[in-house]
Amino acid sequence: MVNGSINIELKLKAVNEMAPITLRLTDLICDPETVSAIYIAWEAMLYRVGAIINRYSVDLSNESYEWLKARKLMMEGDSIAIPAYLALYIQFSNDFINYQQIVATGSIRKTSNGYSADKVSGIKDKFVDINHIPIQIKTAIIVPELNAHELDITHCMHDIWTVGPFLKLHQIHKAD
């Protein structure tokens, strides 16, 4: 846990009825902004892949759920939007198939032109432990394009990607 940020693992749950977010995930969210952020991520993926997305809900891994529940911690903030979007995205794309782990943060804004990643505050604090991720774990680190300049990636041992306008993903750093 760094300055109020913790690492949680999002998963998708196959569902019979359309529900962008599971009830157990909403039980651990303390503000409507966070719920809205997940809905916007789901809506952005609906725009990209169509009604097939109705088969999935964003959920927490069992480990993350139990960890948060045991500590009576709640989630808040819209920077969960990009991680939620990526949880959905990897279901329909092979872009990140070679990674064992994806570490991401960022919010999504709906504009008249579609969807775009928005800058988040405290990016340095959220990624202070970036180089403590073992190099053996192939990791993609994904941040809003507007925050990329805030990270010191010169000696980063992991691949860095950005999310920009129209939620386009672009690799800006390849690990040695």
Domains in the chain: boundaries: 10-173
With a cut of 60, say whether residue 4 has pLDDT above it.
Answer: no
What span, in angstroms and rounded, lies between the C-alpha atoms of 170 and 145?
9
Phi/psi of residue 111, each to 5°?
Answer: -120, 180
Distance CA 76, CA 69 (A): 14
Contact of 26 with 76, CB cutoff 8 Å: no
pLDDT tens string 39-83: 999 999 999 999 999 999 999 999 999 999 999 999 999 999 999
Whether 26 shows a pLDDT value over 60: the answer reads yes
Looking up tokens 């990329």 gives 148
Predicted local distance difference test score (pLDDT) of residue 3: 46
Question: What pLDDT, on the 0 to 100 scale, is given for residue 2?
Answer: 42
pLDDT tens-digit profile of 87-119? 999 999 999 999 999 999 999 999 998 999 999
Alpha helices in the chain (DSSP H): 23-26, 32-49, 62-70, 81-92, 123-126
Residues 6+ apart with CB under 8 A from 68: 8, 28, 60, 74, 75
Q: What is the pLDDT of residue 8?
A: 87
| Residue 1: pLDDT band with limits 50, 70, 90 | very low
CB-side exposure of 71: number of CA atoms within 13 Å?
Answer: 10
Asked if pLDDT for residue 86 goes beyond 70, the answer is yes
CA 143 – CA 118 distance, rounded (Å): 9
* Lowest-confidence pick of 3-7, 108-112, 120-124: 3-7
Q: Which residue has the higher pLDDT, 67 or 121?
A: 67
Distance CA 37, CA 84 (A): 8
Q: In this structure, what token pair is assigned to residue 20? A: 């962008």
Counting residues of the chain whose pLDDT is more than 70, the rounded percentage is 95
At 129 the pLDDT is 67
CATH class of the domain defined by 10-173: alpha beta
**How far apart are the C-alpha atoms of 112 and 114, rounded to whole Å?**
6
Average pLDDT over residues 139-159: 89
On average, the pLDDT of the chain sits at 90
Beta-carbon count within 10 A of 118 CB: 19
Query: Residue 128 CB: number of other CB atoms within 10 A?
Result: 13
